[in-house]
Structure 1
Amino acid sequence: MTNQIVQGILLGGYYALIACGLSFMFSVMRIINLAHGSLAILSAFALWLLASRFHISPFYGLAIVLPLMAVIGWALQRFLLERSARGGALLPILTTFGLAIVIDNVLFEQFGADTRSLAPFIGSLSYDSWEWPGSIYVGKLAVIIFVTAVVLLGGLQLFLTRTGLGRSIRATSEDPDTAGLVGVDARRANALAAAIAMVTVGLAGAFLGMRATFDPYAGATQLLFAFEAAVIGGAGSLWGT
């Protein structure tokens, strides 16, 4: 029983990680990003491509993929979500749903329907574990994912409460008009928030690829996991996830 509880807690670290970007984007921009899961799968495929074609470890590949995901997030907000948000609350949902379909089908066209994994590129880390008293086995990768989730959530919380940029993002999320009156650039704050959200999505996609298999249409399942964690923890609450 104790072993199952420990494994459940560690698995919760991954769920918190995959839900982090969805919850963060909703808390700041009040936008439900239905392309969330597909973007995570996109980052997993990008890391797989770097590892299989160029022999770059997925951990080193993050130095390439995460900045690219940040650029994608910034561009997504500036050129797509910002414009669609002017049409009401429903239009951004439809827009991101369409984006998810495009991403899924482009990945299918480029990589086919075969499942892939990043596990072969991280050596024994994918299956190594520590044995605790009581015959409790704790996977090393699961611990890394859990610690990463805690550090990421804590870092985001500190960023939002202790930095000028973070306070600008919070002010924009609460009242963009009033924030604009005191000199906060709402467009810049939202674009920055989207970039940060996509970095967390990219990180979640990386760990998904390391701990399991994925295919071009796995995004919907990951979106469901993210929704479950975000809703149970309280939509828009980082620590709730």
Structure 2
Amino acid sequence: MIDTLIQGTLLGGYYAVIACGLSFMFSVMRIINLAHGSLAIVAAYGLWLLADRFGISPFIGLLIVLPAMALVGWLLQRFVLERSARGNALLPILSTFGLSIIIDNLLFQQFGADTRSLAPFLGDLSYDSWELPGDIYVGKLSVMMIVAAIVILGGLQLFLSRFALGRAIRATAEDPDTAGLVGIDARKVNAVATAIAMVTVGIAGAFLAMRATFDPYSGGPQLLFAFEAAVIGGAGSLWGTLVGGIVLGLAQSLGAQLHPQGFLIGGHLVFLLVLFIRLFPLGTPFLGKISASLRSEA
């Protein structure tokens, strides 16, 4: 049981990383980016190409891929999100959904359906571990992921609270019109925020490619995990994203111990339970009607 809890917590570190960008964009621009998972796969393929064709280590490749992802985020905001946001609240969601379909199919056309992984380019790191008391083994890559999650989320929190640009992002998120009155360019701030979010997406794509295999259509499941972790932890809360990722990882690990297919079912059940509680808190008329109905049937 202790081993299951440890492995679930470490898995939650990956979920926190991939949910970070989704939660950050929602907190800043109130936009749910449905191309989030597909863009993570783009970063994974970028690292794989650099490693496979040019022999560049995935960690060094991040120095190339992450700035490219920041540029993608800037362009995404300027040419898709900014324009679609002028319509109703549903239009950005539909735009990013269409973008995800385009990305998935372009990747399939370019790379085919074969699965890839960065594990062959990591050497011993892909399988090496530390042995803990009680015959428990902790993967070094898994520890690296949860440490990265804490550093990224903590760094973003520090950036938003201590730096002028971070405070400008927070001000724009609260009231863009009032922020404009004090000289804040909301258009520029949103583009920078999206670029930052895409850098975290690039890191998530790298970790996915290191810990597992991926293909052109792997973005959908990653978006689902990111969305579940963000909702469990409270959409828009950075530290809540870490908690949500760990809760999701623990639910999946415990579910896998109960049933062969419980890995996914356990996570989905916890997500639905948290979502139900958030939508209908205790004491709401809805739950009161259900309780009264159950009493009358008894």
TM-score (norm 1): 1.00
Secondary structure of the equivalent of 1:137? strand
Q: Is 2:110 the partner of 1:110? A: yes
Q: Equivalent residue for 1:62?
A: 62
Q: Distance in 2 between the 1:231 and 1:11 partners? A: 17
Q: Is 2:2 the partner of 1:16? A: no
| Structure-to-structure mapping, 1:1-241, within 5 angstroms | 1-241=1-241
Please say which structure displays the higher CA radius of gyration. 2
Counterpart amino acid of residue 124 in structure 1: D
Q: Distance in 2 between the 1:93 and 1:115 partners? A: 28
Gaps of 5+ in 1: none
Counterpart amino acid of residue 152 in structure 1: I
Deviations 1:64-89 (A, max 9, x none): 00000000000100111000000011
Secondary structure of the equivalent of 2:138? strand
Aligned length in residues: 241
Q: Distance in 1 between the 2:89 and 2:118 partners? A: 37
Q: Distance in 2 between the 1:94 and 1:123 partners? A: 41
Give aligned-pair identity as a percent.
78
Cα RMSD between the aligned structures?
A: 0.4
Deviations 1:186-233 (A, max 9, x none): 001100000000000000000000000000000000000000100000
Counterpart amino acid of residue 174 in structure 1: E
Please state how far the C-alpha of 1:154 moved relative to its aligned partner: 0.2
Q: Distance in 1 between the 2:186 and 2:164 partners? A: 13
Gaps of 5+ in 2: 242-298
Q: Distance in 1 between the 2:44 and 2:4 partners? A: 28
Higher normalized contact order (CA 8 Å, seq sep 6+, divided by chain length) = 1
Q: Distance in 1 between the 2:88 and 2:234 partners? A: 23
TM-score (norm 2): 0.81
Q: Distance in 1 between the 2:42 and 2:65 partners? A: 10
